[in-house]
């Protein structure tokens, strides 16, 4: 079996110094889908930023499609989702029996970082939490729901509306209550263009794409490659997010767009990426995924796709050893650097 050569450049920048190290490795293909890239352990720090660039020669794959996750990749959005969840908990006066606080349920920053890196999708997050901490009382159910049907209605109301929820009652109050409240609140935040990112300092920050995303999308399109977005979030919120952040022309120019509504299983299940591969008409080994979390990385690699990671503050400490490259953001990443083969 012929070996390939990888030239790896690692740049570490501190507050006072910059060090660049270049090493060349020989390696053998690990599987029919992936290369055995050297394993490097990265650590996070407020004073360090790491970038990795890699080039490999092989005839086993050819990059034909670039697939982006949305939350955390196109938009650093987890704090927006957390705010929308907490607003929903207040709106419906959601109170868990295990809570020591007399007020509605509130997910703080530290807990939500752990939760969103453990479980993908909004409904699974709430279902897991309520199973662990007790099903809550609320203005929707004065006493905690005990049947599977009522629990499903509660989750649907807080996260996602459907016809079943709207048929629970014909009263105007119930009709108004059983809607996609959390998602609607999230969309309001996106539309407003600002979000309270510091609970006590009340600093308003412009909601905008992460650095380098739009340029990288355009470079891939200009190179004649297919472009897709695959998100575990609710479709209506992702559509609004993309239309506002990448622009209507780029959104309509996507070759494939999938959201959590389009597949039965959430990430880290590979279903969404396998579905994208079929819709694009591209072999999984010729797709490259851009993710921000281990959950997304696992979904991509289980689909047989290579994956680069652009981490966020909430995911920086995760184990990304299966990623072929790791970046703090995409500001200095060019499309030609992502090519696995020419």
The single residue listed with the structure tokens 């740049």 is 11
293 DSSP 8-state letter: S
d(CA 338, CA 227): 14
Collect all residues with Cβ–Cβ distance below 8 Å to 342 and sequence separation of at least 6: none
Backbone angles phi, psi at 124, to 5 degrees: -60, -35
Catalytic residue among 69, 87, 180, 329: 69
Collect all residues with Cβ–Cβ distance below 8 Å to 223 and sequence separation of at least 6: 335
Told to judge if 262 belongs to the known catalytic residues of this protein, a careful annotator would answer: no
H or E stretch including 89?
helix 78-91
Catalytic residue among 71, 113, 284, 329: 71
The count of other CB atoms within 10 Å of the CB of residue 54 is 18
Residue spans of beta strands (DSSP E) within the chain? 4-13, 18-27, 49-56, 65-68, 194-196, 204-206, 226-230, 256-258, 287-291, 306-310, 325-327
- Going by C-alpha positions, the residue among 72, 118, 122, 39 that lies closest to residue 289 is 72
Q: Please report, in angstroms and rounded to a whole number, the separation of the first and last CA atoms in the chain.
A: 20
* String of DSSP letters for 226-286: EEEEE-SS-HHHHHHHHHHHT-HHHHHT-SEEE-GGG-SS-TTSTHHHHHHHHHHT--GGG
The count of other CB atoms within 10 Å of the CB of residue 278 is 11
Backbone angles phi, psi at 90, to 5 degrees: -70, -45
Contact between residue 125 and residue 116 where contact means Cβ atoms under 8 Å apart: yes
Told to judge if 87 belongs to the known catalytic residues of this protein, a careful annotator would answer: no
Residues known to be catalytic: 69, 71
């Amino acid at each position: 079996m012929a070996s390939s050569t990888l030239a790896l450049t690692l740049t570490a920048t501190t507050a006072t110094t910059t060090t660049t190290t270049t090493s060349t490795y020989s390696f053998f293909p690990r599987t029919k889908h992936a290369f055995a890239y050297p394993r490097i352990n990265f650590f996070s720090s407020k004073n360090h930023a790491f970038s990795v660039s890699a080039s490999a020669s092989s005839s086993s794959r050819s990059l034909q499609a670039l697939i982006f996750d949305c939350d955390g990749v196109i938009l650093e959005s987890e704090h927006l989702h957390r705010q929308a969840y907490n607003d929903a908990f207040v709106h419906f006066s959601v109170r868990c029996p295990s809570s020591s606080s007399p007020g509605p349920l509130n997910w703080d920053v530290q807990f939500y970082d752990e939760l969103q890196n453990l479980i993908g999708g909004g409904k699974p997050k709430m279902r897991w939490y309520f199973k662990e901490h007790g099903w809550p009382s609320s203005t929707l159910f004065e006493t905690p729901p005990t049947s599977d049907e009522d629990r499903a209605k509660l989750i649907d109301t807080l996260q996602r509306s459907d016809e079943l929820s709207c048929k629970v009652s014909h009263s105007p109050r119930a009709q108004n209550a059983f809607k996609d409240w959390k998602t609607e609140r999230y969309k309001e935040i996106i539309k407003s263009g600002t979000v309270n990112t510091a609970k006590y300092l009340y600093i308003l920050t412009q909601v905008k794409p992460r650095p380098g995303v739009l340029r990288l999308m355009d470079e891939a399109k200009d190179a004649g490659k297919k472009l897709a977005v695959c998100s575990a979030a609710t479709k209506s919120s992702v559509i609004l997010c993309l239309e506002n952040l990448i622009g209507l022309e780029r959104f309509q120019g996507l070759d494939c767009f999938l959201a959590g509504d389009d597949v039965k299983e959430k990430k880290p299940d590979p279903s969404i990426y396998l579905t994208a591969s079929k819709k694009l008409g591209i072999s999984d080994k010729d797709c490259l995924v851009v993710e921000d979390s281990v959950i997304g990385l696992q979904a991509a690699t289980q689909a047989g796709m290579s994956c680069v990671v652009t981490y966020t503050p909430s995911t920086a400490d995760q184990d990304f050893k299966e990623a072929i490259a790791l970046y703090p953001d995409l500001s200095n990443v060019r499309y030609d650097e992502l090519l696995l083969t020419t």
